Structure 1
Amino acid sequence: MSLVVGLDVGTQSAKLVAYDFVTHEVVATHGRPLELSAGDDGSREQEAGWWLDAIRACFAELEPALRVRVAAIGVSGQQHGFVPLDAAGRVLAPAKLWCDTSTQRECDEIMAAAGGAQGCVALAGNPILAGYTASKLPWTRRHRPEVYRQLASILLPHDYVNFWLTGERWMECGDASGTGWLDVRGRRWSAPLLAATDGERELAACLPPLVEADTSFSIAPAIADELGLPRTVRVSAGGGDNMMAAIGTGNVVPGVLSMSLGTSGTLFAYADRPVVDDAGRWAAFCSSTGGWLPLICTMNCTVATENVARALGFDSREGDTVMADTRPGAGGLTLLPFFNGERTPDLPHARASLHGMDAGNLTRGNLYRAAMEGATYALRHGYDAWQAAGLRFDAIRLTGGGSHSAAWRQMVADVFGLPVDVPAQAEGAAFGAALQALWALDHAHGGRTELAAIAREHVRLAPERSTYPGTDAAAVYRSHYGRFLHHLEAAVTAHANQSAANSA
C-alpha cells in the first residue's frame, strides 16, 4: 500500500499519476483527451460524465497489481467550473468552464449589486470576472430556468469527481476562492456577495461545507470495486489545478515563483497571509495547503500555439523544430493571443490579432514564434504588477505542457530575466494532487507531517532542463515586449470605448 494516485481533470485531458512514496518513483502515468463544446457567444462547456469516463479509462490502463497497492487519491481540477446538481445528486446541465466568457453581463450585474469591482474586493478579495463560478448562476437562471428551478447543489469540477468517488460533497478554500463567493481573508463564504449574486434564494444552502486542506474521506465501496481499488483508499480534499500544481512544484513556502504553461497560463506564489490587490490586478486566492496563493491567470497560453500550429498544418509538438531558424522578435510580428477573450487584463470579449506583417516576415516559423512570444508577454504583463507591488523572486519553476519545449523554457528565462527550473515530474497538477493525498493520508493515520517536509522530500528538479537568461536575446525581447504593450494598450482602450458606448 505504498502508492498514491493524483488525478488531474483539465480542459483538454484527464491524467492519472501513480506515485510510490517509498521508492520515490512515478510508476505509471496515463491520460485521456477530453472534448470541448464551444459556442459563438463565448460559451465553453463539457459534460461532467466525460470526466468520469476518462478517469475510468485511466484506471483501466493501470495494472491490477498497481491498483491494489493504492492507499490514497487526490483530485486536481480545472478551476471555476459550474456543475449544477439536483437534490438526488444528478447533474442537470453541461458544466460551464473557466474559459467561458458568455457571462460578462452577469459579472457586471453582480459587481453593480456589490458596490462595483472595488466593493467586491473589499468584501471578498476579488472582483467577479468572466469565467469565475459566480456569474454562471445568474446566467443559468436567465438561460436555463428549468435547471435553476431544480438546482440543489453547486460543485466545482474537482468537487464533482470527489462526490463520485466518495458520495460526499465538500469544498476546500483553494478551489472555492475561484467561485468569487469566498472571503479569502476570513476563509468563509461572503454573505453579501451571495446575496448580490442571487437575492431570490438562500444560495449558501446550495454550497457544500468548507473543509481543511488536509481532510480526507473514504472511497465509496462501489466505486472502489468498479475501479479495482482497495476499499480502504482515502480521498483527500483535492483542489484547483493551479493549487495542486503549486504543491507539485514545491511551491508551499514563501519565495518560490511557479509558472504553468497549459491551456491557460498562470503565475502563482505561496503566501502565509492574504495578498489582496485593491485594483484587482491579480487573483487573491487561498492555497490548497492552508495558506494563500496569489495568482495571475491568462486565458490563452498553449491555446495560442496550438491554434496557430493547427492553422498552419503541423502538430504543436513540432513547434521547436518549425521555429528553429527564427530569431527573438519573430521578424517583427506581434500576436495578441486572445483566442478565448482574456482575464489579465480583463478583456472578456477581446479577440486575437496579428500585427507587424510585411512581405518578408510572414512565415510559419515566425507565426508560431509570435504565438509563443505573445503568450509569454501576456504573463510578463501580469508579473509587472507583482514587481510594482514589491514582490521579488530569484527563479521560476516551470510546469505544464509548454515546459516540455526547450525553446519556450529559454524564452521564459529571457523575457523574465530569471533562471528557469523544471521539476522532474512534468505533470505538476496531478503530482501535486498525489502529494496532497499523501499528506492527508498521514494525518488520517494520526501523523503530523508538514506538507513543506513532504515537498522537500518528494519534489525533485531536473537539472538538465534548467535554463538561464541570455544577454543578447533578453535585450531583443525587452524592445519587442514594448511593442506588445503598445498593441495591448490599444486593445484595452478599444474595449473601454466599446463598453462606454454600450452603456450609453
Structure 2
Amino acid sequence: MSLVVGLDVGTQSVKLVAYDAAARRLVATHGHPLDLIAGDDGSREQKAEWWIEAIRSCFAKLDPAFRSRVVAIGVSGQQHGFVPLDAAGNVLAPAKLWCDTSTQRECDEIMAAVGGAEKCVSLAGNPILAGYTASKLPWTRKHRPQAYEQLATILLPHDYVNFWLTGERWMEYGDASGTGWLDVRTRRWSSEMLAATDADRDLLKCLPPLVEADASFPISAAIADELGLPHNVRVSAGGGDNMMAAIGTGNVEPGVLSMSLGTSGTLFAYADHPVVDEAAGWAAFCSSTGGWLPLICTMNCTVATESTAKAFGFNTRDGDSVLAGTLPGAGGLVMLPFLNGERTPDLPHARGSLHGMDLGNFTRANAYRAAMEGATYALRNGFDALLAAGLKFDAIRLTGGGSHSAAWRQMIADVFNLPVEVPLQAEGAAFGAALQALWAFDHAQGGDADLAAMAREHVLIAPGLSARPDPKNVSAYEGHYAQFLSHLDVAKSYYALSPAAGAD
C-alpha cells in the first residue's frame, strides 16, 4: 500500500506524481506553474522560493490518505542552474537557469583560462557552454559581488529542493556533470576547471559531497509535518531532469534512445562507459543511475511552438487541429527557432528567424508547422552527430509536453525515419524520479534491486500512441531538412562574424 513520489522542478512548472508500485499505476498527478524572470541580455532566472511554494501547492492537492502512504521522494530538477547559499543556508540571489545566455563572455573567459574548448574537453569531457553552471560564478562575482562574497555553498536546483526537504547538502554525479567542473571520465571534480572559474578562490570548498545514485536521506521532521507526510520518508539522490527522464523512459541500459520535447529539446542514450566527443558534438554527462548519458540538448523546443501559437492567438492544445491540412515543409516556410539563443549548435547569441514567406504561404497553420519542424530539425541535427559516432538505435522513446501531440509524434517518426514509442507515464522526469526513489528505498531497506530490471517492469509503452515512419513523408523531409541546414549554415556564419548581432 506504500507510495513513492516524484517531483519535477522544471522551468515552466513543478509536477508531482504519486506512484503505487505494487499496482503499477499512478494514483495522482498534480502541477503548479512557475514564473520566469527574463532580461534583454539573455538572462533567465527564477527565485528558489517559487519552487518551494509550488511544491507545497502540489502536496496540498494530494489527498491526505495518499500522503500518509508515502515512503520515498525523488527530485528531478532543471539542469545547470545556480543556487547560491550562505553559511546559514539562506539563498543569496535569484537562481540563474539553464536557458540563461547572459554569461557567454564568462564561458569564453573560463575556456581561455585553461587553453580553449579542446582543453576543457580533455580535462572534464565538456566545453563550457552557455547555460552551464560554471559560467554563472564569475558572472555573479562581477554583477552581484555581495552575494558572491557571502557564498558558502553552490547548489543546483534539485539539490536545493533536497536541502529544503532534508536539511542536508549533497550532489549526485549526473547533475554535477552539467556544471562543467566534473571530470566525467573519473567522476571527480577537476581542480583545473575550478581554478579557471576563479583563480583566487577555492571553489571546491563550496561544493557539497558527491553521493552515489542509490543514496537516500531522511526527510526533515519539520518538513514532513508541514507536508503531511510520515517521518520515515526517504529522499533519494535525485538528479537532473534529463537524467530522471532517462529512468522514466527506461533508458537505463544500452540500445534505447530517448527524446524529451519540453521547453528545451533533448536526445540521450545510456552508456556503461564514458562517451566523450572530442569535437563536443554532444554533452558527455554521467547518468543518475551509476552510468553515463551522452546527450544532445537544444534550448528551443516547445518554447518555439508555444510562442508561435501565442502570436497567432491560439493554444497549443489546439495545435494539431490548426496543423490539419498542412504538408511536410510548411508550404516553404523554414524556422530557425533560436528564441533563447542556442546550445546545439553552439550559437548563444543567435535569434529566431522565419524564412521563405510569400503572399500565399504565410498562414498561422504553416507558421505553427514551421515552428514544430524547426524544433525537430534542430534535434535531428544533433542526432546526426550520434550517428556519425557509430551509435545505432531501433526506436525513439518520446516524453515531455510535445509528446502529447499526435502530429508531432508522426513528424518525429518521419524526420528521424525511426518508429516512435511513448511511455505510458507521460511525465518522464517526474516518473523517473519516483522510480529512482523506489530503487533507493529498496537499497536503504537492505535490498539489492536492479534498476534496469525495475525499469523494464514499470516503464510501460502507451497503447495507440506509437508512430511509424511514412515512406512518402520520410523522402519529402530529407529535402526540407537539407533546406533547414542551409539556413543554419548561414546563421552560423552570420553570428560568427557578428556574435552580438540581434542580441540587443
- TM-score normalized by the length of structure 2: 0.99
> Which residue does 1:260 correspond to in 2?
260
Q: Secondary structure at the match of 1:437?
A: helix
Question: Deviation string for 1:352-392 (max 9, x for gaps)?
Answer: 00000111000000000000000000000000011111111
For 1:379, the aligned partner's letter is L
Distance in 1 between residues matched to 2:457 and 2:3, nearest whole Å: 16
Secondary structure, counterpart of 1:268 in structure 2: strand
SS at 1:73's partner residue? strand
Shift, 1:243, TM fit: 0.2
Rounded Cα–Cα distance in structure 2 between residues aligned with 1:382 and 1:90: 39
* Counterpart for residue 273 of structure 1: 273
- Match of 1:178, SS state, is coil
Equivalent in the alignment of 2:60: 60
- Matched letter for residue 399 of structure 1: T
Q: SS of the residue aligned with 2:362?
A: coil
User: Aligned letter for 2:299?
Assistant: M
1:497 maps to what in 2?
Answer: 497
- After superposition, residues 159-174 of structure 1 pair within 5 angstroms as 159-174=159-174
Residues 469 and 453 (structure 1 numbering): CA distance in 2 closer, same or farther, change over 3 Å?
same
Q: What residue in structure 2 maps to residue 483 of structure 1?
A: 483
Instruction: Work out whether 1:428 is the aligned partner of 2:428.
Output: yes
The one-letter code of the counterpart of 2:293 is L
Q: Which residue of 2 aligns with 1:83?
A: 83
| Equivalent position SS for 2:26 | strand
* Partner SS state of residue 485, structure 1: helix
SS in 2 for 1:179: coil
**Is the CA contact (8 Å cut-off) linking 1:16 and 1:29 kept in structure 2?**
yes
Q: Quick one: distance in 2 between partners of 1:131 and 1:496?
A: 19
Deviations 1:259-316, CA, capped at 9 Å, x for gaps:
0000000000000000000011100000000000000000000000000000000001
Partner Cα separation in structure 1 for residue 193 and residue 19 of structure 2: 40
Q: Deviations over 1:373-414 (max 9, x none)?
A: 000000000000111111110000000000000000000000
Q: C-alpha deviations, 1:38-97, integer Å up to 9, x for none?
A: 000000000000000000000000000000000000000000000000000000000000
Q: Provide the C-alpha distance between the structure 1 equivalents of 2:392 and 2:27, rounded to a whole number of angstroms.
A: 36
CA distance in 1, matches of 2:317, 2:295: 27
Structure 1 residue 115 displacement after superposition? 1.2
Cα contact 2:349–2:500 (8 A) shared by 1: no
Deviation for aligned residue 1:500: 11
Q: Which residue of 2 aligns with 1:323?
A: 323
Which residue identity does 2:89 align to in structure 1?
A: G
Whether 2:436 is the aligned partner of 1:461: answer: no
The yes-or-no answer on 1:452 pairing with 2:457 is: no
CA contact (8 A) 1:174 1:286 kept: yes
Give 2:292's aligned amino acid: W
Whether the aligned pair in 2 keeps the contact of 1:71 and 1:233 (CA below 8 Å) is: yes
> What does residue 396 of structure 2 align with?
396
The aligned residue for residue 146 of structure 1 is: 146
Q: Secondary structure at the match of 1:32?
A: strand
Q: Is the 8 A contact 1:124 1:182 kept in 2?
A: yes
Unaligned segments of structure 1, at least 5 residues: none
Distance in structure 2 (CA, Å) of the matches to 1:398 and 1:139: 35
Q: Report the alpha carbon displacement of residue 465 of structure 1 after superposing the two structures with TM.
A: 0.4
User: Is the contact made by 2:249 and 2:397 (CA closer than 8 Å) also made in structure 1?
Assistant: yes
2:438 maps to amino acid: L
RMSD: 0.9
Query: Whole-Å Cα distance in 1 between the matches of residues 463 and 188 of structure 2?
Result: 41
**SS in structure 2 at match of 1:338:** coil
SS in 2 for 1:463: coil
Corresponding residue SS for 2:464: helix
Q: 1:320-469 to 2 correspondence within 5 Å? A: 320-469=320-469
Alignment length, in residue pairs?
Answer: 501
1: CA distance, partners of 2:344 / 2:102: 17
**Partner SS state of residue 465, structure 1:** coil
Deviations 1:209-231 (A, max 9, x none): 00000000000000000000000
Partners of 2:23 and 2:325 lie apart in 1 by 43
Taking the TM superposition and a 5 Å limit, the aligned residue runs for 1:197-346 are: 197-346=197-346
After TM superposition, give the deviation of residue 467 of structure 1 in Å: 0.4
Give me the whole-angstrom Cα distance separating, in 2, the residues matched to 1:219 and 1:384: 44
Partner of 1:95: 95
1:476: how far off?
A: 1.1
